Chains A and B, each alone.
Chain A
Amino acid sequence: MSMQSIVNSQKHIWEWYIFRQPVGFLIYIVAAIAEINRVPFDIPEAEQELVAGFNIEYSGMKFAMFFFAEFANLFLVSAIATTLFLGGWNGPLLPSWIWFFIKSFFLVFVIMWFKWTFPRLRVDQLMGFAWKFLLPLAFINLILTGLLA
């Protein structure tokens, strides 16, 4: 999988994969948020019901390392989504790296926006949602894409 050629194949805004693969984008975002344990899937942390989850045991630099990792994950997930779905560094006028950061930080903002808005799912709800809904949907999406392409 060459990420460069993926980005190069979405030079114009109508070629972005978010418009060609909207279902894939939604599945990716949901799975990414669940993977980096952010709201609404932050079951191990559960800030509002447990005091702060497992990381209440840590303080100082150890605590900071957990949160550095968490926010690094957040940015990483957004950067991957930018590369795969939002046309990577392609954009008019501004230099390419600025475009990449604008798109990535917009996605970071959107994920933080989810955090203000959505209530947390229970463990069984998340498992049922991921296995019974997202996975079949991803397969159907894959098959349809293979048939159409």
Chain B
Amino acid sequence: MNIIKRTFDGIYNLLKGMKVTIKYFLKPAITLQYPKERWTMPERSRGMVGLLSDPETGKLNCTACFICMRNCPVRAIQITQTKDEAGKRVPDEFVIEAGLCIYCGICEESCPFNAIKMIPKYEFSTYDKKQLTHKKERLAEIGKGHKYTKWS
């Protein structure tokens, strides 16, 4: 008698499993079709470092104070300082080695001038290692349109 009961139990449980799979078969797929569809990244996600600029004048907020460079745990930031026509200090070169960057966001936290921010952009892979060196203009372009937000 036991084997008959176990047989029917087994068939019942197999049908139960098949009910679950047919339910998911009839629903639309939940897989994101990645290159065609994209997920909107959360605002705080640390995708890439970008330089923020003043929306009115279009100039960079950065004053080349070296704080982010000193705080960077992997030394991915290289800055040289210069002065503009008004005598204000501005970065002459502002280089971020994206290959070294560990996306920790310490540069953003330490910046006293709200000039550097982790931007929720991604897809920065390249075929050439040299293209991972992001110069000032490119960083400004990455940060374009993003505003500084105090999170904590």
Question: Is A131 an interface residue, CB under 8 A from the partner?
Answer: no
Q: Is the CB of B22 within 8 A of A118?
A: no
Query: What separation, in Å, do the CA atoms of A114 and B22 have in the docked complex?
Result: 10
Kindly state whether residue A116 has any CB partner on chain B within 8 Å.
Answer: yes
A117 at the interface (CB under 8 A from B): yes
Cα separation A49 to B94 with both chains bound (whole Å): 50
Contact B14 A118 (CB under 8 A): yes
Q: Using a Cβ–Cβ cut-off of 8 Å, how many residues does chain A contribute to the interface with B?
A: 5
Nearest residue, chain B, Cβ from A114: B18
Q: Is B125 an interface residue (CB 8 A)?
A: no
Q: Give Cα A52–Cα B125 distance, bound, in whole angstroms.
A: 31
Grouping DSSP codes into helix (H, G, I), strand (E, B) and loop, the B interface class, with mixed when no group exceeds half, is helix
Most buried by B among A113, A114, A116, A118: A116
Q: Are B14 and A113 in contact (CB under 8 A)?
A: no
Q: Which residues of B contact A114 (CB under 8 A)?
A: 18
Q: Hey, what's the 0/1 contact readout for A93-132 against B, CB within 8 Å counting as 1?
A: 0000000000000000000011011100000000000000
Chain B residues near A116 (CB, 8 Å)?
A: 21, 25
Residues of B within 8 A of A118 (CB): 14, 17
Rounded to whole angstroms, the CA-CA distance of A112 and B116 in the bound complex is 54
Residues of A within 8 A of B17 (CB): 117-118
Cα–Cα distance between A114 and B17 once the two chains are bound (Å): 9
**A contact residues around B20 at 8 Å (CB):** 117
Q: Nearest chain-B residue to A115 (Cβ)?
A: B21
Top 6 nearest A-B pairs by Cβ distance?
A117-B21, A116-B21, A117-B17, A117-B18, A113-B18, A113-B21
